[in-house]
Amino acid sequence: MTRRKALPRLIYIHVPKCGGSSFGMALRLRYLTSQATISLRAGDPALTVEARIISEYQRRAVELRRLIAAGKHLIAGHVQYDAALHQAEAQDYRYVTLLRDPVSRFVSHYRYLQRRHPDPTRPDTLAAFLDTPDAARLASQYLYYFAGQTQTMTSQNTPMIAQALSHLTAFDLVGDLAAPDRFHTDMERLTGATLPYFQRNTAPGPTCVPASLRPRIEALCAADIAIYENALSRTGAAC
C-alpha cells in the first residue's frame, strides 16, 4: 500500500479583499484535520481607531503563535508577517500570500465595508472617503501586512517599502489575483495536492474604479503600488 505524502505546513497571510477567502476555503478542505483560521474581533471600542487596530493585530499575532505551538498544519488569517517568527517557531512552515492591484483592492475594500460594516462616521461616497485618515490606512495594507506600518503611522515610506519587499522574498508563494489559475496551479504544486475551486465572499458586481477618482486613489496607494509591482516583477505572477 502506497503511503500518502504528508502535506507541508502552511501559513496563509490573507490581505483583505485579495481573493483569500476562496483560496483559503480550498486549503482548509484539503487540510481538514489540522487547520485553523484566526478569528476576527472588533476590538475595544473605548480605544481610538488606530489603537484598536494595533491591539487587535497584536491579539492575532498571539493567536498565530498559539496555533503554531499546537502544531496546526494550515493556519490562515488576516495577520502581519513577522520575520522573527518565520525564522524561529515557524521555520518549518511555508508562507503564502495573494496580492491584487492596489487601486482595485482599495475600492473593493471601501465598498465591502459599506456593505458589511456600515458606519455613520464613514463618508457614504468614495470621493468624500478619500479625504479621511481611514482612506490612507486602507490604501496601505501591503505596507501594514508586510512591513508593520501604514501611511498614518509613518512618513518614511521608502524604507518601509524596501522592508516589505525584502519580507516578501521570504515567501514560498506570492500570487496575483489577476492570474488566479496560475496561483491555483502553483498552490497545488507547493502542497502536492489537488485543490478544489471556490468563489467565496464575492462582491455583487465587478470592482469599477471611477476614472475621475483614479489619480487621487493612485496617489493614496503609491506605497502599495510600489510593493505590488516590484514584488511581482521579481517573482512573476507567482513565485
Mean pLDDT in residue range 117-135: 94
- Confidence at residue 188, expressed as pLDDT on a 0 to 100 scale: 94
- Residue % of the chain over a pLDDT of 70: 90
- Confidence at residue 108, expressed as pLDDT on a 0 to 100 scale: 95
User: For 205, which DSSP code?
Assistant: S
pLDDT reading at 119 higher than 60: yes
132 HSE (CA, 13 A, CB side): 15
Nine-digit cell string for 118:
456600515
Would you put residue 176 in left (φ > 0), alpha (ψ -120 to 50) or beta? Answer: beta
Lowest mean pLDDT across 9-13, 77-81, 231-235 = 231-235
pLDDT reading at 186 higher than 90: yes
pLDDT reading at 236 higher than 70: no
Q: Which domains does the chain have, with CATH numbers?
A: 10-235 (3.40.50.300)
Residue-wise pLDDT for 154-164, tens only, equals 567 889 999 99
In whole numbers, what is the pLDDT of the chain averaged over residues?
90
* DSSP letter for each residue of 116-179: HS--TTS-SSHHHHTTSHHHHHHTTHHHHHHHS--TTT-S-HHHHHHHHHHHHTT-SEEEETTS
Using pLDDT thresholds of 50, 70 and 90, give the confidence band for residue 2: very low
- Confidence at residue 239, expressed as pLDDT on a 0 to 100 scale: 45
The CB density around residue 228, as the number of other CB atoms within 10 Å, is: 22
- 8 A C-beta contact, residue 106 and residue 221: yes
Q: Mapping DSSP to helix (H, G, I), strand (E, B) and coil, where does residue 37 land?
A: strand
Mean pLDDT in residue range 117-127: 94
Nine-digit cell string for 50:
488606530
- Adjacent-strand bridge partners of 97: 13, 174
| 43 vs 162, more confident | 162
Using pLDDT thresholds of 50, 70 and 90, give the confidence band for residue 198: low
Q: Mapping DSSP to helix (H, G, I), strand (E, B) and coil, where does residue 68 land?
A: helix
Q: Mapping DSSP to helix (H, G, I), strand (E, B) and coil, where does residue 94 land?
A: strand
**Model-level pTM?**
0.90
- Which residue has 501604514 as its cell numbers? 150
Residue-wise pLDDT for 56-68, tens only, equals 999 999 999 999 9
Q: Give dist(CA 140, CA 18) in Å, integer.
A: 13
| 1 vs 91, more confident | 91
Handedness of CA 198, 221, 103, 234 (dihedral sign): negative
- Confidence at residue 43, expressed as pLDDT on a 0 to 100 scale: 80
- Which residue has 475551486 as its cell numbers? 197
Using pLDDT thresholds of 50, 70 and 90, give the confidence band for residue 79: very high
Report the interhelical angle of 102-116 vs 222-235 (nearest 10°). 120
